[in-house]
Structure 1
Amino acid sequence: MTATINTALTLASGLTFPNRLVKAAMTEGLADSRNRVTEAHVTLYRRWAEGGLGGIITGNVQIDHDHLEQVGNVVIGPKISNEALDGFACWADASKSHGAALVMQVNHAGRQTPKLINPRPAAPSPVALGLPGGQFGEPRAMTAEEIQAVIEGFGRAAKVAKQTGFDGIQVHAAHGYLLSQFLSPLANQRQDDWGGPLENRARLLVACVKEAKIAGGAGFSVSVKLNSADFQKGGFSFEDCLGVIDTLDTLGVDFVEISGGNYEQPKMMDQEGMEPVFDQPVSASTQAREAYFLKYARAVQDRAKMPLMVTGGFRTVAAMNEALASGEADLIGLGRPLCVDTTAPARLLDGTQDALDQWEKKLRIGPGLFGPHSPIKIIKALNGFGAMGWYYEQIRRLGAGQDPDEKMAVLSAFLANQKSEKAAAKAWRAEAP
Structure 2
Amino acid sequence: MSHLAEAISVRNVTFKNRIIKGAMSEALANYEGQPNHLHFGLYEAWAKGGLGCAITGNVMVDFRAKNEPGVVVVETERDLPALKKWADIGKQYGMVQLIQLSHPGRQCPKGLNKETVSASAVPFSPLLATTFGTPRELREEEILDIIHRFAEAARICEKAGFEGVQLHGAHGYLISQFLSPLTNKRQDQWGGSIENRMRFLLEIYKAVRAATSESFIVSVKLNSADFQRGGITEEEVIQVFKAIDDAGIDLIEVSGGTYEAPAMAGAKADKRKVSTIAREAYFLDFAEKVRKEVKCHIMVTGGFRTVSGMNAALDSGACEFIGIARPLAVETDLTDRLIAGQDVRYAVEQIKTGIPMVDKMAIMEILWYAAQFKAIGEGKKPNPKLSPLKVFFHYAKNNVKAVIQGRVNSRKSA
TM beyond 0.5? yes
Distance 2:41 2:2 in 1: 32
| Partners of 2:128 and 2:255 in 1: CA distance | 24
Q: Does 1:355 align with 2:344?
A: yes
**TM-score normalized by structure 2?**
0.94
Please state if 1:118 is matched with 2:116. no
The 3-state SS of whatever aligns with 1:364 is coil
Structure 2 residue aligned with 1:270: 266
User: CA contact under 8 A between 1:123 and 1:140: conserved in structure 2?
Assistant: yes
Look up the equivalent residue of 2:59 and give its one-letter code. V
Q: 1:151-206, CA deviations, whole angstroms, 9 ceiling, x for partnerless residues?
A: 10111011001000000010110000000000000100000000000000000000
Distance 2:405 2:239 in 1: 43
**Partner letter of residue 352 of structure 2?**
R
1:120-177 Cα distance to aligned partner (Å, 9 max, x none): 3111111011133621122111001100011101110110010000000101100000
- 197, 219, 223: which one aligns with 1:223: 219
Among 67, 70, 83, the residue aligned to 1:88: 83
Identity, % of aligned pairs?
A: 41
**Is the 2:2–2:339 Cα contact (8 Å) retained in structure 1?**
no
Distance 1:14 1:155 in 2: 21
**In structure 2, what is the equivalent of residue 406 of structure 1?**
384
Measure how far apart 1:274 and its partner are: 5.8
Distance 1:144 1:274, change over 3 A: farther
Instruction: Report the 3-state secondary structure (helix = DSSP H, G, I; strand = E; otherwise coil) of the residue aligned with 2:162.
Output: coil
Q: CA deviation at 1:387?
A: 3.6
- After superposition, residues 4-403 of structure 1 pair within 5 angstroms as 4-11=3-10, 13-77=11-75, 79-81=76-78, 84-118=79-113, 120-130=115-125, 131-132=127-128, 134-273=130-269, 275=271, 286-351=276-341, 353-360=342-349, 363-366=351-354, 378=357, 380-382=359-361, 384-403=362-381
Q: Are the equivalent residues in 2 in contact too, given 1:390–1:410 (CA < 8 A)?
A: yes
Deviations 1:353-378 (A, max 9, x none): 233421325x3345xxx8xxxxx7x3
Q: CA deviation at 1:262?
A: 0.5
Q: CA deviation at 1:251?
A: 1.1
Conserved in 2, the CA contact under 8 Å of 1:228 and 1:241? yes
> In the TM superposition, what is the alpha-carbon distance from 1:3 to its structure 2 partner?
7.2
- Pick closer, same or farther for the CA change 1:59–1:387 going to 2, 3 Å: closer
Give 1:403's aligned amino acid: K
Aligned partner of 1:113: which letter?
Answer: C
Aligned pair in 2 of structure 1 residues 49, 427: CA closer, same or farther (>3 Å)?
A: farther
Q: How many residues align?
A: 410
Between the aligned partners of 1:413 and 1:127, the Cα distance in structure 2 is 31
Distance (whole Å) between structure 1 residues aligned to residue 406 and residue 88 of structure 2 = 27
How far 1:428 moved relative to its partner? 4.7
1:238 is displaced (CA, Å) by 1.8
* Cα distance, 1:132–1:311 mapped onto 2, change above 3 Å: same
Instruction: Tell me the distance in 2 between the aligned counterparts of 1:320 and 1:171.
Output: 24
Distance (Å, rounded) in 2 between the aligned partners of 1:410 and 1:10: 40
Q: Residues 293-347 of structure 1, C-alpha deviation per residue, up to 9 Å, x if partnerless?
A: 1111111111111111000111100000000001112101111111111011111
Distance 2:344 2:365 in 1: 21
Runs of at least 5 residues in structure 2 that lack an aligned partner in the other structure = none
Helix, strand or coil: the match of 1:309?
strand
Structure 2 letter corresponding to 1:257: E
Q: Is the 8 A contact 1:57 1:102 kept in 2?
A: yes
User: What is the one-letter code of the residue matched to 1:142?
Assistant: L
> Secondary structure of 1:129's partner?
coil
Contact kept in structure 2, 1:125 and 1:187, CA below 8 Å: yes
Secondary structure of the residue aligned to 1:214 is: helix
Which residue of 1 is the match for residue 401 of structure 2?
423
**CA–CA distance in structure 1, aligned partners of residues 244 and 309 of structure 2:** 28
Residues 48 and 95 of structure 1 are in contact (CA less than 8 Å); yes or no, is this contact kept in structure 2?
Answer: no
Of 95-104 and 217-226, more deviation after overlay is shown by: 95-104
Task: Find the aligned partners of 1:404 and 1:393 in 2 and give their Cα distance.
Answer: 9
SS in 1 for 2:165: strand
The alignment's TM-score, normalised by the length of structure 1, stands at 0.90
Change (3 A) 1:396 1:421: farther
Q: CA deviation at 1:235?
A: 0.8
Question: Secondary structure at the residue paired with 2:141?
Answer: helix
- Partner of 2:264, secondary structure, is coil
Structure 1: which 5+ residue stretches go unaligned? 277-281, 371-375
Aligned with 1:161: secondary structure? Answer: helix
- The CA RMSD measured in Å over matched residues stands at 1.9
